[in-house]
Chain A
């Protein structure tokens, strides 16, 4: 908890925002992978390519 306090609110907020961006990119890739594995390809904007 002490470690968390040392980071400050702004720092924690920035870490959360960066992590969210990373995770959204991860889920974006996951959607392509899972849909592609089922023979349902997607375009870059996630619209159906099939």
Chain B
């Protein structure tokens, strides 16, 4: 009976949507098998060279041997172009500024639309396992917000491509030559992504229950697979320009496409962007929830958007916690690839931007923590932990101040004499990395503690070993704090540089272990806990402003670090192999960059407001004018 019902609901269009991925795989598989039958393994063997004929299933038949001169000419490698100033079109406006704005906007929206389906899929899966429709509705609403973002991403992406081909023709010709047919694969992936996106979104209610739900989840998985493949392919272009691979010293291609793609910075960037995108996406949809919460009057709607805001903040902060470690890995790989590049980033003109970065990350952590503390008012059980909030706040503020303490100050002679040297005798030691490593790790641990207290605030453990579990959890925190400070102070100030750098890895592992211990102990300890009532919607309005602060800080931070990442190439289009001879072949001054970063941040936020407005518009319906009715009756 159930089978009949299932078949009845399975009309042709749904069946096609379900089977499409399988059909694609099947077609590729058949093509591959057919090639194998005729003994043609790779692309080079499949394509018959000019001057030769090949019958299916037969070895190539050579018509005539080519002269040696022609053969040599064919294998001659093509070096990277060396454009002169005249080769760059002058349109009266800074080419770099145009590409900067378009590129950054494309990246912002790209990050958003890649991230949202990732956590939407997870939320949907949680909904399936908990059989709670609220998760499903929320996931659907998240998709609704981001849907228009796909179109905006495509608009900025297309504009960026046109601007690049117009303004940097030689660079683009070179990149086209290096990456070859990968560009077409990239374009092809957009068809897949669009297909999966629209079927996933518009098929939400049609594929909502039973086996069809799993079809829907599979579509979501394929959507994410397409999106992530697009991201890592695009990342390979950026990392090729920073640290080229698969080419020789003059930029001639000597390796295959895989060797070109897998440069030394590719995976660090992939990981960093993957995590950062999730945090960024969570922050943006959190702002939507805050906006809806503040504008809603109905308590049911306020409760829904409060819960949505909490989930968004949870996603943003949880993804944010490991982000600094991915950043460390990226910088370590940059140093390993080129010390000069590393020093340009962290020891030269750009070093000050890492202080600005610290301010922004501090803002994110303070806002995220403040939201969690405010959210604890939803449950009466949170009273137990209110005293600890003051300690966490103190740790966050002290660490934040240490993190923003600069090392090298720009001083006049009189200021140096007043200071007693180029570095302040107390604040000087706080300006170097060991102090900042301690501060960052302690801030992350404090944030996780806020999160853990929040999660515990509506529960009372009932297991017999709860006191021992709590004692262990306290010891995990105290031991970790002692270890992080010891590692930072002893190896950072009293041993050589190698041990100083090595100890930062031990600090990171310590912090990550606190998170792992916390999750495992709580999962076991609160398995059959007594749950206290939570009052969704019972949160101060001011907490919502923390949710607005998060995407603003994230956006500004992404633009800032994008400027740093791109600037480390200095006067090279492709580092060490293709020089930039355009009028903008220098690192832009910090003031100018600050204006550009602010411009793109404001532009992005305006576009996000537009997205929210459109998402809101789709749910509203105009009333039929009463005057028309009255007129009709008359």
Contacts and interface: CB of A to CB of B under 8 A. Distances in A.
Instruction: Please indicate which of the listed interface residues B467, B468, B474, B480 has the most CB atoms of chain A within 10 Å of its own CB.
Output: B467
Contacts of A12: 467, 470-471
A24 B468 CA distance: 17
B479 A20 contact: yes
B466 A16 contact: no
B499 interface: yes
28 contacts: A1-B461, A3-B462, A3-B466, A3-B467, A4-B470, A11-B467, A15-B468, A16-B471, A16-B474, A18-B471, A19-B468, A19-B472, A19-B474, A20-B474, A23-B478, A27-B482, A27-B510, A30-B513, A34-B502, A34-B509, A35-B499, A38-B505, A40-B498, A46-B490, A47-B495, A48-B499, A50-B498, A50-B499
Interface residues of B, number: 32
Contact of B479 (A15, A27, A40, A48): A27
B509 A4 contact: no
A30 B496 CA distance: 20
B42 interface: no
Contacts, number: 76
Nearest to A21: B475
A15 B476 CA distance: 13
Contacts of B510: 27, 30
Contacts of B495: 47-48
B476 A23 contact: yes
A23 B467 contact: no
B145 interface: no
Interface of A: 1, 3-4, 7, 11-12, 15-16, 18-20, 22-24, 26-27, 30-31, 34-35, 38, 40, 46-48, 50
Contacts of A1: 460-461
A24 B484 CA distance: 11
Contacts of B480: 23, 27
B503 A26 contact: no
B464 interface: yes
Given A27-B483, A31-B506, A34-B505, A20 B478 contact: yes
Contacts of A40: 498-499, 502
Nearest to A38: B502
A50 B499 CA distance: 10
B487 interface: yes
Nearest to B479: A23
A19 B471 contact: yes
Given A1-B460, A20-B478, A35 B467 contact: no
